[in-house]
């Protein structure tokens, strides 16, 4: 059962069954047992769903990426390669940050993942309207900048699944005891595990215990705990511009849209369509100038390199 310290209890047998499937998917992600577009029943595969590539936006320390191989070869991975900035990340990839290292993955223009030290994250599905990731160990901060109606953004863990239902900022981690801890710094999510399921709102924390018989407990997230998470995340993502305004969690609660303000300060923002799903448009500012090219409009000489992952 899911127990809230306020006394509310919510359970859902359907979601409990669903999360068991999600955990199994997480365990077999790189084997590609589940293909993009597969329905929850597992009986239908949409072959026309094409996965897209995210990219490594930042890294600090030793970061490895393992790519999937053809299952006929008898191996699930090609082996680990050292990650570089702008390296593509797509379906079946596993990203690992060693102890003392961090990395960030830009899913698209709006959605961003920061991997903490000692984290292993699998990409289960990555297509338009459907992002599924599997956290095996460690912790990640998930910055969900946009979530359209009908869009799925889900993170599987060994103890349950987290389904983001609103744009927001979330930290999902597995502690030393094997429990999954979900902190909703902004937004809301649906959490389902063997102990129960329920909605977790902004300013709340839920612990999904590794023990099968243990209850999942929802509690209030202390501002003293939330503020360092938010401040550390923005300090890492916006290393050159962030002013530490979110050292006070209440300041973040009242005005959480630092991303929108930062994005609109970018010179390149004026030349990119509002609906373009290009991750890291701000990086173009320091890699060339926009020029008006006859018959094409404004172009950046860095744009093609950016798309090819060649920018430093």
103 and 193 fall within a common domain: yes
Residue 245 inside a domain? The answer is no
177 and 271 fall within a common domain: no
Q: How far apart are CA 169 and CA 215, in angstroms?
A: 25
Residue 237 inside a domain? The answer is no
| Lowest mean pLDDT across 88-97, 195-204, 218-227 | 195-204
Task: Indicate the SS3 state at residue 69.
Answer: coil
Question: In the chain, helix, strand, coil percent, each to 5?
Answer: 20, 35, 40
Using alpha carbons, select from 59, 47, 118 the residue that is nearest to residue 89.
59
Order of strands across the sheet with 111-115? Answer: 9-10, 2-4, 216-220, 204-208, 180-186, 168-174, 139-144, 111-115, 102-106, 54-60, 88-89
Instruction: Kindly tell me if the per-residue pLDDT of 266 is higher than 80.
Output: no
215 and 283 fall within a common domain: no
Looking at per-residue confidence, does 31 or 211 come out higher?
A: 211
The arithmetic mean of pLDDT across residues 173-190, rounded, is: 95
Query: Which pLDDT score is estimated for 306?
Result: 44
297 and 182 fall within a common domain: no
Query: Which pLDDT score is estimated for 312?
Result: 45
Residue 116 inside a domain? The answer is yes
Count of structural domains within the chain: 2
155 and 215 fall within a common domain: yes
Q: How far apart are CA 55 and CA 173, in angstroms?
A: 22
Query: Which pLDDT score is estimated for 285?
Result: 67
Q: How far apart are CA 110 and CA 144, in angstroms?
A: 7
210 and 270 fall within a common domain: no
Query: Which pLDDT score is estimated for 296?
Result: 75
288 and 189 fall within a common domain: no
Q: What is the DSSP string of 250-283?
A: HHHHH---HHHHHHHHSGGGGGS-TT---TTGGG
Query: Which pLDDT score is estimated for 133?
Result: 97
Instruction: With beta carbons less than 8 A apart as the criterion, state whether 209 and 159 touch.
Output: yes
Q: How far apart are CA 252 and CA 254, in angstroms?
A: 5
Domain boundary among 206, 221, 236: 221
CATH of the domain at 27: 2.60.120.1440
187 and 298 fall within a common domain: no
110 and 9 fall within a common domain: yes
Domain boundary among 221, 242, 274: 221
Q: How far apart are CA 196 and CA 11, in angstroms?
A: 5
Query: Which pLDDT score is estimated for 20?
Result: 33
User: pLDDT, tens digit, for every residue of 71-122?
Assistant: 544 456 667 899 999 899 999 999 999 999 999 999 987 899 999 999 999 9
Instruction: Kindly tell me if the per-residue pLDDT of 161 is higher than 80.
Output: yes
126 and 193 fall within a common domain: yes
23 and 144 fall within a common domain: yes
270 and 217 fall within a common domain: no
Q: Which residues share a beta bridge with 3?
A: 9, 217
Instruction: With beta carbons less than 8 A apart as the criterion, state whether 105 and 56 touch.
Output: yes
| β-strand pairing of 216-220 with 2-4 | parallel
Residue 236 inside a domain? The answer is no
User: pLDDT, tens digit, for every residue of 285-307?
Assistant: 666 677 778 877 777 655 444 44
Residue 228 inside a domain? The answer is no
Number of residues that make up the chain: 312
Instruction: Kindly tell me if the per-residue pLDDT of 62 is higher than 70.
Output: yes
Q: Domain range spanning residue 148?
A: 2-221
Element spanning 174, H or E: strand 168-174
Instruction: Kindly tell me if the per-residue pLDDT of 268 is higher than 90.
Output: no
Query: Which pLDDT score is estimated for 96?
Result: 96
Residue 281 inside a domain? The answer is yes
Instruction: Kindly tell me if the per-residue pLDDT of 138 is higher than 50.
Output: yes
Instruction: With beta carbons less than 8 A apart as the criterion, state whether 52 and 127 touch.
Output: yes
| Lowest mean pLDDT across 18-27, 120-129, 277-286 | 18-27
């Amino acid at each position: 059962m899911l127990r809230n310290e306020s006394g509310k209890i919510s359970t859902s047998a359907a979601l409990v069954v669903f999360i068991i499937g999600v955990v199994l998917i997480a365990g077999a992600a790189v084997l590609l047992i589940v293909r993009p577009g597969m329905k929850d029943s597992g009986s239908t595969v949409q072959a026309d769903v094409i996965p897209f590539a995210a990219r490594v936006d930042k890294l600090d320390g030793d970061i490895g990426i393992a790519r999937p191989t053809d299952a006929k070869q008898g191996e699930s991975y090609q082996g680990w390669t050292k990650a570089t900035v702008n390296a593509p990340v797509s379906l079946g990839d596993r990203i690992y940050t060693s102890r003392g290292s961090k990395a960030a993955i830009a899913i698209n223009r709006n959605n961003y993942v920061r991997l903490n030290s000692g984290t292993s994250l699998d990409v289960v599905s990555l297509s338009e309207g459907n992002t599924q990731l599997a956290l095996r160990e460690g912790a990640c901060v998930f910055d969900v900048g946009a979530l359209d109606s009908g869009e799925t953004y889900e993170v599987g863990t060994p103890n349950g699944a987290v389904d983001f239902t609103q744009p927001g900022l979330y930290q999902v981690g597995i502690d030393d005891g094997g429990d999954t801890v979900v902190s909703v710094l902004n937004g809301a999510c649906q959490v389902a595990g063997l102990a129960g399921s329920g909605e977790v709102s902004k300013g709340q924390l839920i612990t999904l215990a590794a023990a099968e018989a243990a209850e999942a407990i929802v509690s209030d997230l202390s501002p003293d705990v939330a503020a360092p998470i938010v401040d550390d995340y923005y300090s890492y993502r916006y290393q050159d511009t962030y002013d530490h305004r979110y050292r006070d969690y209440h300041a973040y609660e009242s005005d959480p849209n630092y991303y929108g303000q930062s994005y609109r300060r970018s010179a390149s923002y004026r030349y990119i369509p509002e609906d373009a799903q290009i991750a890291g448009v701000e990086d173009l500012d320091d890699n060339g100038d926009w020029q008006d090219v006859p018959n094409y409009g404004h172009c950046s000489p860095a744009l093609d390199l950016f798309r090819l992952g060649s920018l430093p």
